[in-house]
A = this chain, B = another copy of it.
Amino acid sequence: MRRVAVVGTGHSQFCFNSPKTSVELLSEVAIDAMAEANVKPKDIQAINVGNVLGDFEEGQGMVQSFFANDIGCFGVPASRFEGACASGSMAIRDAVMWVASGYYDIMLAGGVEKCTAMPTSLATRTFSMFGDSRYEYPAGFTFPAVFALLAHLYSKRYSIPLDKLKDQMAAVSVQSHEYAMKNPNAQIQKQITKEDVLNSMMISSPIQLHDACPFSDGAAAIIIASEEVAKKLVKKPVYFAGMGQSSSGKLSSQSKYLPGLHARELACRQSFSMSGLTPRDIDLVELHDCFSIASIIAAEDLGFFGRGAAGEAWERGDTRLGGKIPVNISGGLKAKGHPIGATGVSQVIEVTRQLRGDMAEQGRQVECAKYGLVDTLGGDGVLISLILSAA
């Protein structure tokens, strides 16, 4: 299998109520990505797109075909992937395989979502279709409720009093907002304090408003190429060193692993094994922080902190720039935003730009970063892990 690299990136402003269609949002970032990669539409041999709600929210299914044609990629294979909030990462992992196998040399992988046209209460209900709809949703398991349950389980399992855990969760959100202020594409550009988090509206106890990511519109796209082609196109290709994917069923079927997610452990075991790396080798992480408790659980599942220890790590600043393992220096889903089909692609772009050393100008560069990890969770059912390498 050949090595595959990211050679171009395009990332929209994440926002509330974009006036653009999904096809338009995706087209704009694709053109940016092609420009950065020094390729033209005719060079793109196939397209993978992550998109979840195109038909449901915008009345437009199969956005990938219309998008491909609109950007001048005529007649190429264009496939849509859906794995809830991990759809974008799923599209990328699959594209990497098509190039690694030698079938294609250059592909575009993107993701797009418009989540904000509907009222927030309807959005929460809509998202819950990506949990188990038949038994668990009717029992009250929207995603805020799922993560509230995990927070209670976490508190009990690791003997961390809920008040203390809430302080730790607040530290996660405060850090994300701080870094998002340095990211011009972030949806929320506003500093918050621990008190802001603890005084915010209760959603599903102990999850408060500022423990949750926003609903977002946005798009992101990358161009990938085989190593040989990549070296001809750009000065700093960023390589895929490892990848893994795993899925699970209903939340109730995962009970013996909770609050940890077994699918995450399986997925990152694959990506670490493929890359020959360990958590100690990783210089930065973009992980799936749909809720602040999700960040804490993910950082432990991924092996960066011991069980029950990640919250304190956030409080100590171990997850900051210069800390033990910088986490979500983009602002994360919490403050950068979470246009679900685009999120995995956005994470890969953040890590790519960090590994290229592009983030100094935004004042949030992870110095001398060689390896970065992307972790994307879809619903409570799918996990994707991607490791990128600067060389």
Contact = CB atoms under 8 A, between A and B. Distances in A.
A19 B262 CA distance: 32
A382 B133 contact: no
Given A69-B248, A247-B75, A250-B69, A82 B62 contact: yes
- Count identical subunits in the complex: 2
A378 B62 contact: yes
A56 B62 CA distance: 14
A66 interface: yes
Given A75-B247, A77-B246, A247-B78, A61 B55 contact: no
Nearest to A101: B101
Contact of A82 (B21, B80, B98, B266): B80
A133 B247 contact: no
Contact of A132 (B66, B68, B101): B66
Contacts of A248: 65, 69, 74-75
A159 interface: no
A263 interface: yes
A139 interface: no
A77 B247 contact: yes
B79 A133 contact: no
A115 interface: no
A52 interface: yes
A347 to B, nearest CB: 18
Q: How large is the interface on A (under 10, 10 to 19, 20 to 34, 35 or more residues)?
A: 35 or more
Interface in A14-66: 21, 23, 46-47, 51-53, 55-56, 58-62, 64-66
Given A100-B101, A102-B1, A129 B82 contact: no
A176 interface: no
B62 A379 contact: yes
What 6 pairs across the A-B complex have the smallest Cβ distances?
A69-B249, A65-B381, A101-B101, A77-B245, A65-B247, A61-B130
Interface of A: 1, 21, 23, 46-47, 51-53, 55-56, 58-62, 64-66, 68-70, 74-84, 90, 94, 97-98, 100-103, 129-130, 132-134, 137, 245-250, 253, 262-263, 266, 378-379, 381-382
16 contacts: A1-B101, A1-B102, A53-B55, A55-B56, A55-B129, A60-B129, A64-B247, A65-B247, A65-B249, A65-B378, A69-B381, A75-B262, A75-B263, A76-B246, A79-B90, A81-B82
